[in-house]
Amino acid sequence: MTNKHIIFFDIDGTLLDEEKKLPKSTKDAIFALKEKGHVVAIATGRAPFMYEDLRKELEIDTYISYNGQYVVLNGEVIYTNPLHSDALASLTEEAVSRDHPVVFMDHQDMRANVREHKYIKESIQTLKIGQFPTHDPEYNKGRAMYQSLLFCTEGEEVFYEQTYKQFDFIRWHPLSVDVIPTGGSKANGIKKIIDKLGIPSQNQAAFGDSLNDLEMLSQIEKGVAMGNGHEKAKQAAKYVTKSVEEDGILHGLQMLELLD
């Protein structure tokens, strides 16, 4: 197939609507892409265990988790980029003194350093994944952590940004930021897959809506921002489609002439 494309899709606000539902038009479009011989992949800030059901429903086995820190191609892990363990321990100690909870995340589970906190409950319940982190303040010791969640209000992350240069901090909720290795991004994870598959840049597309999609949308030749997306995402992308609820994925793929 000379026109074989690879298309990367974010999950929240892109594949899934505000209610975390997968529109029928989106599901049909994904399978239509695969029937035409295109490669379909997911690129998300979520942990692998947070969207296993979605991968099964869409029959996708190539995916980028943790904003590029855990990359799987055809069911095989091809790249990992864990957090600096000593810096994470130091950040956690500082966060405790400021009443900012931390959730540690590896490829299998997530554990919180506190038993409960309203910030954790309020933000994670918006994902509607049916699970919350259990308590284990030692979970980060002796394990590779690919992302952490730091719970603080907007602006409070500035101290951490200035203090911990080993990490990037990306806000995904008014009460929480993702903590990832400095320079880590979905775009970096995508490059690991592209290097393996050798698909040319003109045959690469990506759909996203949020701040953690900026590098992906700007660096992929056919970057498409959702109509419901952040204004910065729309500015970073080459194209803007309709919102998720308005069959935005289908419309965007038609706009790219990947579907009839």
Full-model pTM:
0.91
The label of the residue with tokens 């970096």 reads 188
Q: Quick: pLDDT tens for 77-133.
A: 999 999 999 999 999 999 999 999 999 999 999 999 999 999 999 999 999 888 899
Residue 2 — pLDDT band, cuts 50, 70, 90?
A: low
The tokens describing 258, both together, are 């990947």
Read off φ and ψ for residue 87, nearest 5 degrees.
-65, -35
Mean pLDDT of the chain: 96
Residue 260 — pLDDT band, cuts 50, 70, 90?
A: confident
Using the predicted structure, report yes or no on whether residue 3 has a pLDDT greater than 90. Answer: no
- As a whole number of angstroms, the distance between CA 260 and CA 254 comes to 6
Within the chain, what is the greatest distance between any pair of CA atoms? 57
Average pLDDT over every residue of 62-74? 97
Strand order in the sheet with 204-208: 76-80, 70-73, 63-65, 39-43, 6-9, 204-208, 222-225, 239-240
| Spacing of C-alpha 68 from chain mean position | 7
Q: Quick: pLDDT tens for 14-67.
A: 999 999 999 999 999 999 999 999 999 999 999 999 999 999 999 999 999 999
pLDDT score for 1:
55
- As a whole number of angstroms, the distance between CA 228 and CA 244 comes to 7
Residues facing 64 on adjacent strands: 43, 71
- As a whole number of angstroms, the distance between CA 189 and CA 62 comes to 11
The amino acid occupying position 116 is E
Catalytic residue set: 10
Strands 222-225 and 239-240: parallel
CA distances from 113 to 109, 129, 153, 181 (A): 13, 20, 18, 20
Average pLDDT over every residue of 235-246? 98
User: Domains in the chain, ordered, with CATH?
Assistant: 6-80+184-255 (3.40.50.1000), 85-181 (3.30.1240.10)
